[in-house]
Amino acid sequence: MEVSVYGKKAIKREIYQIIIPMILENILQISANLVITAMVGRLLANDISAQGICIRITDTLWCFYKGVAIGATVLIARAYGGGRHQECRKIAEQTMLTELIIVLVFQVVLYFQAPLFLGFFSKDAQILSLAQGYMKTIVFGFPFVVIMTVVTASFQGYGNTKVPMYIAVLMNVVNIVCGYCFIFGAFGIPGMGIKGAAAALVTAQAVGACTGLYLLYKKKGGLFRKMPAAHRFFSLDRKCVYEIYTTGIPAALESMFWQFSAIILSKVILFYGNQAFAAYQLGIQAEEITEMPAIGFSTASTTLAARAIGRQDEELRKIYFKELLKVGVVISSVTSLLLILLPRFFMTLMTDKPELQAIGVVYVFVMGFIQIPQNLSRIYNGTIRAMGYKNAPMLVAGFGIWIVRIPLCILAAYGLGLPITAIWIIIAVDQISRFLLSAGLYYRISKKRERTLETA
């Protein structure tokens, strides 16, 4: 066992060196989203709803990009842990090439057929018109999003989480400055409302992608500077692509299950009216304020576990896992209390409209009770995925969403006519059920792995 060369303090330091920049990156990323959301929140409820239904679609696609990038992160971390550095560049470039091809199809379809997809959410002509303008702008950022996810996967696979944080700083500053100018109008730029929010985001994504590529390939200090390409960029390695996507697609489906459910859930919530849906969108953003420190746990657990497995050091993997759980419990306890005790404060940050605040406050309050199980699930699932059980987190998500969340929400709204609060409670029950399944699976898999290693 290699773990004998590590002291406990050194292991903790390694964990925090990865986690802290990721936490800061998430804080910066979500903070920028919150600022833009707050700006849009000063517009009309129809503007908020239009942005919300577009986000449901674009976030579903983002889950695919990010899921595949998670597959790349796992493989890069394993290769790096095993000392196969040249393989890391190959994995990153094969991921980028194939995702750019796929995203081009999404881009064209959504640009020319936006009404076909947006019409599922609302029949309100004004909302659809606003949403169509937003969508036709935001699609131009798709290739930049792909590039950024691959850049992030590359650096995180190496355990370098500072560079993605720096890119996030730059991107968020651009997004906020451009957002103010493009939404409300400033410095001679006419205000474009909801279209301005989309234009600002695309501009920020372009800046982030270009910066990321520069940091990957620059001659002095670039991540791949000492790794000559073992293949041509535009030539596909089928075996490599197969490994990336068989690892990443289950992770993508896990997130996409949530997004597909969010699409259906959006339809259910719109049954209660446009104000309920607008409040829900703002409530999600308010909840994300307290989720910022914990979102990075999934990637951290995946990266650290994959690295330890690449080193063939099972004891180190267990130590990483236990330390992550400790940090997760502490942070989640604090964020849980904040949401439970200060729901109105968070909603006030999002909007100045009392009718939206009243609905959103209840959502934020209920979500406060699921912070611990929700965040610990990320650690369990990230570790399970790195241990080679690619489909397990996806199946857990599928159970919670399609057996618990969606059927019960449809029954509550259309069948029983329950108030909107019932929907918030069902969402919480879904998260708790997934936590229990993830924890049970992890300990079962861990014991099985111990028996296998003992007999090897």
Supply the pLDDT for residue 116: 81
Which tens digit of pLDDT belongs to each residue from 340-350?
A: 998 899 888 87
CB atoms within 10 A of CB 5: 9
Per-residue confidence at 2, pLDDT binned at 50, 70, 90?
Answer: very low
Q: DSSP of 348-380, one letter per residue?
A: HHH-S-HHHHHHHHHHHHHHGGGHHHHHHHHHH
pLDDT at residue 170 tops 80: yes
Supply the pLDDT for residue 421: 92
| Angle CA 380–384–388, to nearest 5 | 170
Supply the pLDDT for residue 431: 92
**CA nearest 87: which of 100, 99, 98, 74?**
74
Per-residue confidence at 432, pLDDT binned at 50, 70, 90?
Answer: very high
Structural domain count of the chain = 1
Amino acid at 206: A
Distance CA 202, CA 378 (A): 29
Its domain, for residue 316, covers: 2-455
pLDDT at residue 79 tops 90: no
